[in-house]
Structure 1
Amino acid sequence: MAKLPKYAIIVAGGSGSRMQAAIPKQFLEVAGKPILMHTIEQFYKYNPQIRIVVVLPQQQLDAWRKLCQKHQFKLFHMTVPGGDTRFGSVKNGLDTVFGEALVAVHDGVRPFVEVKTIEAAFEAAEKDGSAVVAVSPKDSIRELTDDGSRAVPRAKYKLVQTPQCFRASILRKAYEQPEQEHFTDDASVVESIGEAITLVEGSYRNIKITTPEDLILAEAFAGSQP
């Protein structure tokens, strides 16, 4: 059986508000280059033939082109303008995927995803149709209730990361439906059409850089890359 082509839709729609930064968080530098470049490099390390699609807000496309020139960033990728929401951005990215394929959707500000994690997610998606990277919570968890809160067993919970990989046909069908408020990631969109979700073990290094504290951690991780 022929191997399905592989795509990575890298969604980078951040504005930098929670980062308290003047520039979008995906363009902030870690170890001398924008976070988004580190993210693209990880997928390229996994497979130089992977088709990389970067989804950015329309008003950031020109700034990204200039950053690529400044840093002489030559790794081939397509850029696509994003939608008003993450749902819309993924949908726009999906328009570049032709026929049946395996598609990974990944946060542009998760630059430390490990190659072995990407590999495991694609392998599981090829076998089961879906693969969502997740880790176990380290902290105790409490659930908010009408009259306060209550302890819940953390062994029954997972913290969801990206990449989230799917067969293109499943992802397309899921994104044909109208957007709903409870859609927080691709897994929730796909699950809503009745598809089962397979979990793949992630890594605590695979952080989403969102706040100034995360940048400190990112510099530390970048300095200790294997």
Structure 2
Amino acid sequence: MQSDTPKQYLLLDGKPVLYYTLKAFENSNVDTIILVVGNNEIEYVKTNIINRYEIKKVNAIVEGGKERYHSVYQGLKAVGNSEYVLIHDGARPFITKEMIEKVIEKVEESKACVVGVPVKDTIKIVDDSNFIVNTPDRSRLWSIQTPQAFSTELITKAYSMILDESVKEDIRTDSIGFKSSSEKAITKSVKAEPMKRINITDDAMVLEYTLNYPVQMIYGSYYNIKITTPEDLIVGEAFLNDR
């Protein structure tokens, strides 16, 4: 977006986008909220959002890293003894209490789940010159959203494996004892790809590249948009007016 203001602090109906996101979790059954923010934003968030709107469940504000996956890992290190963790984009203000409760229910069953919706458009894969090389089966494609929920031990282990510079070639999961949906212990060895060759865009990908743990898909909502472009703000205003 052509703005110096981070998207989560832009205003929707006079309130920051992040306010709506935090209120949804404040009104849900999550125990605590750990907020990960950019460099030099902690005091701004405390004053202008947490204190101003009386968000009570935020018990830690953590400074993030250069990339999203660095920020998530910083947040995970602040989680403590919680058995499960929900990871959510602050710029998705239309998450509902009902969806959060559904995610909590599912993660207790599967240990790893993500929210998403089937894609509506046909997706094309193109080469470096923008010529089409393949058309995936649309019926099997989903657009991934957040929250993404995991066993805290599981996702923290996965992140530490993919970010740890000491990781070389083989990563084994059998020492942890996690099991797949077929109840067979996962013992597959996977190669630790250098981060520069992996574009990590969501948390489920971290499991794909490390533990090979099955992640359950949960049907989300087309209202659960991420505020990324100026057009998203216009759509967001319409969603608020439709509530």
TM-score by length of 1: 0.85
Corresponding position: 1:96 with 2:103: no
What is the deviation of 1:114?
A: 1.8
> Are 2:167 and 1:187 equivalent residues in the alignment?
no
Could you tell me which residue of structure 1 aligns to residue 134 of structure 2? 150
In the alignment, what sits opposite 2:114?
A: 132
- The separation in 1 between residues aligned to 2:4 and 2:157, in whole angstroms, is 37
Deviation at 1:96, TM superposition (A): 1.6
Tell me how far apart the structure 1 counterparts of residues 148 and 11 of structure 2 sit (CA, whole Å).
25
1:83-136 CA distance string (max 9 Å, x none): 111111111111121225110000000000122221111111110111100100
Return the letter of the residue paired with 1:60: E
Which residue of structure 1 aligns with residue 155 of structure 2?
Answer: 171
State the match for 1:40 in structure 2. 22
In terms of mean alpha carbon deviation, does 204-213 or 150-159 score higher?
150-159
The Cα shift of 1:145 comes to: 5.1
- Structure 1 stretch displaced more, 206-215 or 89-98: 89-98
Contact 1:143 1:149 in 2 (8 A): yes
Corresponding residue for residue 201 of structure 1: 219
TM-score (norm 2): 0.79
**Identical amino acids, percent of aligned pairs:** 36
Give 5+ residue unaligned stretches, structure 2. 164-194
Contact 1:28–1:35, Cα closer than 8 Å, also in 2: yes
Shift of 1:58: 2.4
Counterpart residue type for residue 178 of structure 1: I
Correspondence for 2:228: 210
User: In 1, are the aligned partners of 2:162 and 2:206 still within 8 Å (CA)?
Assistant: no
Paired letter, 1:204: Y
**8 Å contact from structure 1 (residues 102, 125) kept in 2:** yes
Larger radius of gyration: 2
Give the number of the structure with larger relative contact order, counting CA–CA contacts within 8 Å between residues 6 or more apart.
1
Segments of structure 1 that go 5 or more residues without pairing to the other structure are: 1-18
Decide whether aligned partners of structure 1 residues 64 and 154 sit closer, same or farther in structure 2, where only a CA change above 3 A counts.
same
Give 3-state SS (helix, strand or coil) of 1:58's partner.
coil
Name the Cα RMSD after superposition. Answer: 1.7
1-structure distance, mates of 2:237, 2:25:
20
Q: What's the counterpart of residue 11 of structure 1?
A: none
Counterpart for residue 240 of structure 2: 222
* Aligned equivalents of 1:173, 1:124: Cα separation in 2: 20
The one-character-per-residue Cα deviations of 1:36-88 (angstroms, maximum 9, x if unpaired) are 010001111222x521011001211222223137x721112121110111111
Does structure 1 residue 26 correspond to structure 2 residue 32?
no
What does residue 40 of structure 2 align with? 59
Q: How many residues matched? A: 205
Q: Deviations over 1:118-176 (max 9, x none)?
A: 11111111101111001001112222258633333210111100000001010111111
Any idea what the Cα deviations from partners look like across 1:12-36, whole Å, max 9, x if unmatched? Answer: xxxxxxx111211111110211000
| Aligned counterparts of 2:35 and 2:81: Cα–Cα separation in 1 | 19
Aligned match of 2:146: 162
